[in-house]
């Protein structure tokens, strides 16, 4: 007895779409509460402004707008999508998942739908899974959406985080392809350093006294050890980018774009140096205007890059996601064709 399996195929990104909240918040609106200044923030992170969602811009509504834009550009209907993967760390409900709410709102409540929690690596984790689902024949078209409303989980008085995190959503559709257009994912974690970024209510108290009731712990906010994260990103995660290029058999000078997680412009520039990205490659810098949107940052940066540089459609890009866990994932992808 043997089991029949479909032949392994190929996958590609068919389209990208995004949603940016309407309100742009300059550094000048953040600095007073954290005794900071615009120059310090720009010099350390490159961030000039970020977007904060209003009350009517929810995790679901932002993700919906990004998905509808991606569907329109791929000329697909929601009925053509059989799987939805939603990456987020800022949906405040455990169950039912954000993905099931979203797929219902989008209008295909029969599709497979689930959330993944891999923080700022969530989008690349989602792309890795979607690509393999399509290649194996489990799914035909997969919507992968990264969405965050981190302004709900950031303490405006915390000097280490208040100027970094932001809101938004970005989505891609991954479908079948004649040629291989998504390279192998190089992914993993450094879970022994998992205390370096935390989004949890009173995390230390919770760890030290697990008998304490969850209700006593209060609202969760992000906290981080900035220098630990910085060094890990530059020295450990850059190597993951090099491995993803090797796994795809692609040299840095064959890339059209480098689109790493938009955490910090200095990290992005140092990573590019470590990976030896040549000057001919366009480097995403959406962090400057839109801040760090965690799981949403790579598709948001991809979308704006293609808007600014239409010649990049169909070229190869190196994606690298990394964040709380600590977790990481990288892959080389062919950017979607011009809609
Ligand atoms: C957060 C980050 C910008 C802080 O920069 P840093 O150089 O590590 O800052 P430090 O905490 O060591 O503090 C350095 C100095 O700046 C001051 N400082 C800290 N926060 C400040 C702020 N928000 N505004 C102004 N000054 C600040 C400190 O008081 C200290 O002053 P001193 O030298 O007089 O003692 C930096 O660590 C970073 O970008 N880390 C990566 C974080 C990240 O990207 N996270 C997301 C990953 S998904």
Q: Low-confidence residues of the chain, pLDDT below 50?
A: none
Atom of ligand 1 nearest to the CA of 261: 48
Residue 244: what pLDDT? 98
Q: What is the CATH number of the domain that holds 299?
A: 3.40.47.10
Residue 1's pLDDT is 87
Residue 314 lies in a domain: yes
Paired with 11 in beta bridges are 176
Range of the domain at 204: 186-334
Q: Are 189 and 328 in contact (CB under 8 A)?
A: yes
Show the 3-state SS of 72-130. Answer: HHHCCCHHHCCEEEEECCCCCCCCCCHHHHHHHHHCCCCCEEEEECCHHHHHHHHHHHH
* Tens-digit pLDDT profile for residues 129-145: 999 999 999 999 999 99
pTM for the model stands at 0.96
Q: Give the ligand 1 atom nearest the CA of 264.
A: 44
> Are 204 and 279 in the same domain?
yes
In the sheet with 282-283, reading across from the earlier edge strand, the strands are 186-189, 327-334, 316-323, 257-260, 282-283
- Residues ≥6 apart with Cβ < 8 Å to 94: none
Residue 181: active-site member:
no
Cα 156 to chain center, whole Å? Answer: 22
Give, for ligand 1, the residue of 35, 225, 230, 320 to mutate: max count of ligand atoms closer than 8 Å to Cβ: 230
Check residue 84 and give its pLDDT: 98
Judgement on whether residues 166 and 297 belong to the same structural domain of the protein: no
Which pLDDT score is estimated for 214? 67
Tell me what pLDDT residue 79 has: 98
Q: How many structural domains compose the chain?
A: 2
Where does a domain end: 177, 198, 216? 177
């Amino acid at each position: 007895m043997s089991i029949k399996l479909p032949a392994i195929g190929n996958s590609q990104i068919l389209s990208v779409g995004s949603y940016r909240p309407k309100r742009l918040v300059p550094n000048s609106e953040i600095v007073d509460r954290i005794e900071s200044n615009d120059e310090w923030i720009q010099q350390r992170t490159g961030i000039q402004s970020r977007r904060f969602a209003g009350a009517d811009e929810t995790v679901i509504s932002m993700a919906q707008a990004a998905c509808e834009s991606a569907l329109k550009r791929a000329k697909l209907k929601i009925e053509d999508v059989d799987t939805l993967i939603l990456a987020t760390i800022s949906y405040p409900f455990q169950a039912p998942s954000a993905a099931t709410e979203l797929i219902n709102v989008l209008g295909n409540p029969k599709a497979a739908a689930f959330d993944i929690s891999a923080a700022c690596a969530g989008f690349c984790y989602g792309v890795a899974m979607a690509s393999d689902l399509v290649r194996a024949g489990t799914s035909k078209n997969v919507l992968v959406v990264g969405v965050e409303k981190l302004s709900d989980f950031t303490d405006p008085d915390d000097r280490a985080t208040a100027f970094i995190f932001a809101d938004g959503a970005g989505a891609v559709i991954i479908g079948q392809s004649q040629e291989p257009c998504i390279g192998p994912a190089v992914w993993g974690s450094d879970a022994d350093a998992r205390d370096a970024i935390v989004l949890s209510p009173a995390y230390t108290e919770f760890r030290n006294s697990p008998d304490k009731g969850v209700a006593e712990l209060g609202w969760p906010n992000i906290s981080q050890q900035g220098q630990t994260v910085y060094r890990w990103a530059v020295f450990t995660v850059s190597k993951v980018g090099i491995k993803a290029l090797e796994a795809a058999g692609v040299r840095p000078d064959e890339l059209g774009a480098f689109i790493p997680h938009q955490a910090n412009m200095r990290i992005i520039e140092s990573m590019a140096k470590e990976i030896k990205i040549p000057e001919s490659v366009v480097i995403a810098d959406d962090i400057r205007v839109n801040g760090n949107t965690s799981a949403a940052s790579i598709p948001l940066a991809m979308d704006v890059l293609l808007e600014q540089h239409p010649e990049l459609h169909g070229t190869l890009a190196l994606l690298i996601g990394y964040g709380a866990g600590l977790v990481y994932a990288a892959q080389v992808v062919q950017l979607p064709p011009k809609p």
